[in-house]
Each structure stands twice: as structure tokens, then as C-alpha cells.
Amino acid sequence: MIKTLKFGGTSVGSAANMRRVAGIILSEGARLTVLSAMSGTTDALVKISAAAKAGDDATAKATLAMLRDKYTTCIAELLTSHAAAASERMEDVLTTIANELFTYRGEVSDKLILAQGELLTSAIFCHHMQELGHKAVLLTSPEFMHTDPEGKPDTARLRQELTRLVTQTDPDIYYIAQGFICTDAAGNLSNLGRGGSDYSAALMGVAIDSDEVQIWTDIDGMHNNDPRVVDKTFPIRRMSFDEAAELAYFGAKILHPLTIQPCKEAGINVRLKNSMEPQAEGTLISAGEDNAMDFHAVAAKDGITVVRITSARMLMAYGFLRKVFEVFEKYKTPVDMITTSEVEVSLTIDSTCHLEEIARELAPFGSLEIDHNNTIVCIVGCIDAQHTGLAARIFDGLKEIPIKMISYGANHRSMAILVSTEYKKPTLQALNDHLFGHESAK
Ligand code: ADP
Ligand code: ASP
Ligand code: MG
């Protein structure tokens, strides 16, 4: 069985955790392992490049020094015979960052800086595997993970180049690659977006025809609600690809939103596992029926902006919505929720990069209202029109919550509501108590 395993930042966040990861790789017999940077690294690198751009050299230097300490400690605790080689690699990485910061100043490439975390962590980890006496080969993901001008991964090229590197001839070789990082269409180091290592693992797992992709993190699988926000959540043992994709898209941080799609298309199961507790069952995501439970899970996506257009021209007209959507298409801005009345349309977006241009182009259509700081709450379950009383049960729990938008009936598996972000926690907690109170008490 060919397995691709991915370990997130916490899983490789210390020497002790890296040792545990090595044990998991060996016991699973992973062919390919995809690693994130040690926890806190990417945030620190974001801080460093922002500080350098703002001319705040003191913060940039102090944060870089903090990273040096963190990696020095890890190397000292993890490695012996390979310690010098790993330290040399660390010095190279720190020099690359410092050169970029202090040579290019305001023009620094944050993508180049951000990539260093995964490069360094994977190098240290590979030394650990080698020191343990295993044949571990360090791959360089930007050599085979390329994106097009739209930022979409070139999966055909990935398959061709990765299968060439990951040979099937020696089953004892453990290949180690970096998640998150890639080469963009201009040939520069880039990344697949924050949290993108899960997506890297899915794409690489498909490219080498894995039988299973395992995402190892710090929790025992997909929970029924966000455990960072809500008390008494519980793990879900099985989910369909569509349910998992919906939850990931609507904010379940355990999976990058794009992770499921490539695996679903290739029919490759995805297993979510806890590296801190490898015996825990985790969650198996596979093809097949959605769960038949009324309510299966809830997720929330923050940073949502509502664009509301009021126009008398909409009344009895056709083609109006097409023109509105063309504006969002032009600025490559996806729309999540939509509600309409005779003369109004409300849309939600999560990227406000082009909001100014969008608003300018929509202005001739009618009057515009823009409302920031909202959260979409998505309830996944068997939400089918034949099944009466489900909406009543959801809203019964939300009597105290001001609801701004509702999306119901787009599919049979989910329903979404929009609330102001200040109501996110009470909304999630109320849904948990109301819809899952019985199970969460177990
Ligand atoms: P990694 O660094 O391994 O990629 P992440 O922090 O990105 O880990 O994702 C794991 C975290 O996702 C968990 O620690 C948990 O707090 C959070 N999380 C949010 N929603 C869910 C959910 N529905 N089920 C499980 N974990 C969730
Ligand atoms: N290290 C990257 C991040 O923090 C990628 C990842 O963790 O998936 O976003
Ligand atoms: Mg993650």
C-alpha cells in the first residue's frame, strides 16, 4: 500500500515531536512524507518580512534571532552525528533570509522568506531519519510543484516530475518533501497559501498514485464543531469527500479548503490522524454516501464581507445577475453566499483585495452597501427537502442570534447562515448544545 503522510507544524514542532513523527513514518511504511515548518515559523517569517518592509529592523532582527534559537535547540536535542550538517543548513537559510531582508529592504520577496521554514524543517528531519539509519531522501518541492499564472498547481507536470524522483524500485527509501512551497509561473519561489501543506500532500499523494493520504495533526480527526471556539466537541469517524470538502471550505482549519478535491477525483481516501496520539482512530474520508445523520458537523469561516446592490433595474429584468457576476469574475473574486429579492442582491466574498475596483464597477448598477466582519456558519448533515423540521431545529437554537443571510437548498448536505463575527462564538456554541447536546455529553 502506497501512503503519503503529511505532518503539520505542531507535529514537527520540537525534537521530541519529530522523534514521534519518525516512528509513525516507519510504522506506516510511508513512501512520501510531506512536512510543514515547525510551528510558529511561518508566522515569525511573516512578521520578519513585514517588519523589514516597514523599516523596523529591530523587530526583524529580534524575530530572526528567536528563530535561530528555536532551530538551534531542536538540532541540539535531535541530532548528534548529523548536527553539524544540519547547523550548516540552518546558517544557509538564515543568511538567505538576512540577505533578502537587508539587501532588498522595501522590495523583499516575502514568498522567498516564507519558503525557508519548510526548507529548513524538512532538512533537519531528513537528517534525523538518516541518523536513525534509514534511507531518507530529501526532495525539493519547488522543483516539481509549479503553479500557473492563476496560482493553480500544474498537476500533469507534478505527476511527471515527482514519479521520476520517487522511484518504486527501492521500497526502503523514505522520501521527504516540503508542503506549502512551490515555484510560480515566473519561476520564483512561492506557496500555495497559508495552511497549504495539506493541499501539497493531497496533490503529491495523487501524483504518485498513493492508496491513501494521511494528514497528521494535533487532534484526533475532524470534530463536529470548532474545538477552538466551542466546548464539548467530538471526533467524527467517517465522512464523505463532499462533506469534508464543505467543512474545510467553510472554515474547519484542520484541512486546507482545497485538500479534498484532488483526492476525491482520484478516489484516494484521506485519513486525519493525531500525531500526539497515533493509536486514536481519527477520521476516514472516502467516497460513498453522505452521512445519514440529521446534523453531522458545523464549521465557520471568518473575514466575510457582504456586498448588497439595490437596483430598480432588477425588477422583472433578466441578465442583471450575469452582469453583476461578471464584475466578480473579472477581479477573480469568488462569491460564497447569495440571496436575492425583487430589487436587491446580497453576495458574500472573503477576499477584499479588489473590493475597491469591484465597488467602482458595480456602482452604475444601483446603490451599494458594504458590510465587513461577518462569519459564515455552515451546518453539514442530511439536509434534504423531504426531511421536515430541520430548519426549525436549527433556528430554534438561534433565537438570540441576529441572522443576516440564509442559504438553504443549494445541495442536500448543508445549510449556511451569515452572522456578524461578534456572534460567531454564541452561534457555534448554541448549535453545538442544541443539535449535538446529546452526543457531546457522551
Ligand atoms: P497543522 O499545523 O497540523 O496543519 P492546524 O492548526 O492547521 O494543524 O489544524 C489543526 C487544528 O484545527 C486543530 O488543533 C483544531 O484546533 C483546529 N480545528 C478547527 N476546526 C476543527 C474541526 N472541525 N475539527 C478538528 N480540528 C479543528
Ligand atoms: N507553514 C505553512 C503555514 O503556516 C503551511 C502549513 O502549515 O500548512 O501556513
Ligand atoms: Mg494546517
User: Which of 247-256, 324-333, 376-385 has the least mean pLDDT?
Assistant: 376-385
How many Å apart are CA 234 and CA 442, to the nearest integer? 9
Q: What is the pLDDT of residue 273?
A: 98
Nearest CA to ligand 2 atom 5: 195
Query: What are 38's three cell numbers?
Result: 515547525
Q: What is the pLDDT of residue 424?
A: 98
Average pLDDT (154-174) is: 91
Confidence of residue 133 (pLDDT cuts 50, 70, 90): very high
Q: How far is the CA of 269 from the centre of ligand 1 (A)?
A: 19
Amino acid at the residue 404: K
Mean pLDDT rounded to a whole number for the chain = 94
Query: pTM of the prediction?
Result: 0.94
* Residue 252 near ligand 1, beta carbon < 6 Å: yes
Nearest ligand, measured from the Cα of 273: 1
Q: What is the pLDDT of residue 3?
A: 97
Q: What is the pLDDT of residue 392?
A: 92
More confident residue, 417 or 312: 417
Average pLDDT (35-48) is: 97
Which of 12, 197, 258 maximizes ligand 2 atoms within 8 Å of its Cβ, making it the mutation to test the pocket? 197
pLDDT at 438 over 70: no
DSSP secondary structure string for all residues of 152-172: -B-HHHHHHHHHHHS-SS-TT
Q: What is the pLDDT of residue 314?
A: 73
Q: How far is the CA of 18 from the centre of ligand 3 (A)?
A: 17
pLDDT at 281 over 80: yes
pLDDT at 46 over 70: yes
More confident residue, 119 or 293: 119
Which of 5, 113, 182, 194 maximizes ligand 2 atoms within 8 Å of its Cβ, making it the mutation to test the pocket? 194
Nearest ligand, measured from the Cα of 40: 2
* Residue 10 near ligand 1, beta carbon < 6 Å: yes
Which of 33, 38, 42 maximizes ligand 2 atoms within 8 Å of its Cβ, making it the mutation to test the pocket? 42
* Half-sphere exposure (Cβ direction) of 234: Cα atoms closer than 13 Å: 14
Query: What are 214's three cell numbers?
Result: 494521511
pLDDT in tens, 165-211: 997 677 789 999 999 999 999 999 999 999 999 999 999 999 999 99
Q: How far is the CA of 39 from the centre of ligand 2 (A)?
A: 8
Q: What is the pLDDT of residue 189?
A: 95
Q: How far is the CA of 198 from the centre of ligand 3 (A)?
A: 7
Q: What is the pLDDT of residue 360?
A: 96
Q: Are 274 and 218 in contact (CB under 8 A)?
A: yes
pLDDT at 5 over 60: yes
Q: Of 263, 149, 183, 144, which Cα lies nearest the Cα of 215? A: 263
Kindly state the percentage of the chain with pLDDT values over 70: 98
H or E element, residue 219: none
Nearest ligand, measured from the Cα of 195: 2
Q: Which atom of ligand 2 is nearest to the CA of 37?
A: 1
pLDDT in tens, 391-427: 999 999 999 999 999 999 888 889 999 999 999 999 9
Query: What are 397's three cell numbers?
Result: 437554537
Interacting residues of 241 by C-beta distance below 8 A, sequence separation 6+:
260, 263, 264, 270, 285, 286, 287
pLDDT at 82 over 90: yes
Q: How far is the CA of 178 from the centre of ligand 2 (A)?
A: 10
More confident residue, 124 or 290: 124
Q: What is the pLDDT of residue 171?
A: 77
Ramachandran assignment for 409, one of left (phi > 0), alpha (psi -120 to 50 degrees), beta (any other)? left
Q: How far is the CA of 147 from the centre of ligand 2 (A)?
A: 17
Nearest ligand, measured from the Cα of 192: 2
Q: How far is the CA of 440 from the centre of ligand 2 (A)?
A: 30
Average pLDDT (110-136) is: 97
Q: Which atom of ligand 1 is nearest to the CA of 256?
A: 7
3-class secondary-structure state, position 144: coil
* Residue 257 near ligand 2, beta carbon < 6 Å: no
Q: Of 370, 369, 368, 362, which Cα lies nearest the Cα of 320? A: 362
How many Å apart are CA 419 and CA 413, to the nearest integer? 20
Q: What is the pLDDT of residue 29?
A: 95
Q: What is the pLDDT of residue 316?
A: 73
Buried b (16+ CB within 10 A) or exposed e, 352-390: eebbeebeebbeebbeeeeeeebbbbbbbbbbeeeeeeb
pLDDT at 77 over 70: yes
Nearest ligand, measured from the Cα of 45: 2
Q: How far is the CA of 193 from the centre of ligand 3 (A)?
A: 11
Nearest ligand, measured from the Cα of 36: 2
Q: What is the pLDDT of residue 318?
A: 82
Identify the residue whose cell numbers are 451569515.
418
Q: How far is the CA of 260 from the centre of ligand 3 (A)?
A: 13
Identify the residue whose cell numbers are 474547519.
252
Confidence of residue 442 (pLDDT cuts 50, 70, 90): low
Q: What is the pLDDT of residue 106?
A: 65
Confidence of residue 440 (pLDDT cuts 50, 70, 90): low
Confidence of residue 53 (pLDDT cuts 50, 70, 90): confident
* Residue 193 near ligand 2, beta carbon < 6 Å: no
* Residue 8 near ligand 1, beta carbon < 6 Å: yes
pLDDT at 142 over 60: yes
Q: What is the pLDDT of residue 349?
A: 97
3-class secondary-structure state, position 277: coil
* Residue 184 near ligand 1, beta carbon < 6 Å: no
Q: Which atom of ligand 2 is nearest to the CA of 180?
A: 5
